[in-house]
Amino acid sequence: RKEVEQDPGPFNVPEGATVAFNCTYSNSASQSFFWYRQDCRKEPKLLMSVYSSGNEDGRFTAQLNRASQYISLLIRDSKLSDSATYLCVVNAGNQFYFGTGTSLTVIP
């Protein structure tokens, strides 16, 4: 069973659209949660941590549902520069588990 599962997409959306990504994790003892973005052949870059109460950073909103072991990321008013792969990352113990990523392309 995969530790972290994401819909790989691809998601192709027009500029200005709202898009949501989902992620599920298998280890109920997981302690911290993150969204990273990765551009082609580049390193993952931290987008935001995900807190139990939900959190927002500009156009980005992250939610965590511990009971369902589910994490989401909402991007509002998509920009061309949002095109990337979005990685769901979960920490359990001293290990960090990455999802396979969800590919987003924002179209002019």
Partner 1 sequence: EPEVTQTPSHQVTQMGQEVILRCVPISNHLYFYWYRQILGQKVEFLVSFYNNEISEKSEIFDDQFSVERPDGSNFTLKIRSTKLEDSAMYFCASGGRTGFNEQFFGPGTRLTVL
Which residues would be at the binding site for partner 1 (CB under 8 A)?
Answer: 31-32, 34, 38, 41-46, 49, 87, 91, 93-101
Terminal Cα-to-Cα distance of the chain (whole angstroms): 38
For residues 50 and 33, what is the distance between their CA atoms, to the nearest angstrom? 5
- The least distance separating partner 1 from the CB of residue 1, rounded to whole angstroms, comes to 15
Closest by Cα among 91, 19, 82, 95 to 45: 82
- The least distance separating partner 1 from the CB of residue 67, rounded to whole angstroms, comes to 20
- The least distance separating partner 1 from the CB of residue 23, rounded to whole angstroms, comes to 12
Closer residue to partner 1 in complex, CB, 78/102? 102
